[in-house]
Amino acid sequence: MARTGINLGNSQFQVGARLKKSALVLALCLAFSATSADAATKKPTPTPTAKASVKASPKATVKPKPTAKPTSKATSKPTVKSTAPTTAKPTASAEPTVSAKPKPKPKPKPKPRKKIRLTPSPKPKWPPVDFEFESGIYAKVPTSKELVSVISAKTNLASQVKACSEFVCGAVQVAAETGCVWWEVNSQVLSKEGVILGDLRTISTPSAVKEIKTILLISPEPIETLEYISNIEVICHQDPRPEGASAATYTKVVE
């Protein structure tokens, strides 16, 4: 049975997330109208007065002669003027006017799209930087930033990482110069005080020559405080994977 192993330190990985009206304008308008009335008055004209004259003579008989004749003439005559209302006659032009239609603007020609050339992603450097090395095997516990970058690019890891919001998880990156038929990762789950809670055995799929592979270590131990995974041992197998081997086996330590 061909196998090569390498031991690493601590790995702690937990996932969490948290997430994080208008003005009314009113205007009122009022309109007022006024009416005016004109009144006309008339002045009465005075009537003339009558005078009588009497003459005395030395004769015994006196004959009075009326001399006064009253005369009365009306001088004021009212004048009435009537004005007939004028009506406006509509004027019609002899020839109808025709407005000129605006000429349609020419549609702008679409600009030619720039061709985008896709360049293949660069191959990872070899040997990988900051990896532990032993007998052609490379291993490393990734940082949180590195792990997030890898998970966002690999859909299979994104689906697996959901479990890490409830259970204690870890991660390790591995590579081999000759490639591996299957990977075996042995680790331990520890409490925040460093007490071993259980042993975890994780089996992963093959990797190609000089391929960097990320393996998630998911335990069934629920997250309570600051539990973590440590004492990681990585083994590269060159023989076929045993039939019926479970992807993850957890053995809880009896107190």
Question: pLDDT tens digits, residue range 52-87?
Answer: 443 444 444 445 555 545 444 444 454 545 454 555
Round to whole Å and give the CA distance between 166 and 219. 10
Residue 160 three-state SS: helix
Q: What is the CA angle 58-59-60, rounded to 5?
A: 120
pLDDT digits (tens, 9 = 90+) for 236-248: 999 999 988 889 9
pLDDT digits (tens, 9 = 90+) for 143-159: 988 988 888 888 888 88
Confidence of residue 42 (pLDDT cuts 50, 70, 90): very low
Bridge partners of 215?
A: 172
Confidence of residue 121 (pLDDT cuts 50, 70, 90): low
CA distances from 206 to 9, 35, 121, 164 (A): 23, 104, 22, 23
Beta-carbon count within 10 A of 95 CB: 5
Kindly report the pTM of this predicted structure. Answer: 0.56
Residue reference for tokens 């002669």: 65
Report the amino acid identity of residue 236. C
Q: Which two tokens stand for residue 99?
A: 């407005």
Q: Which two tokens stand for residue 166?
A: 């409830």
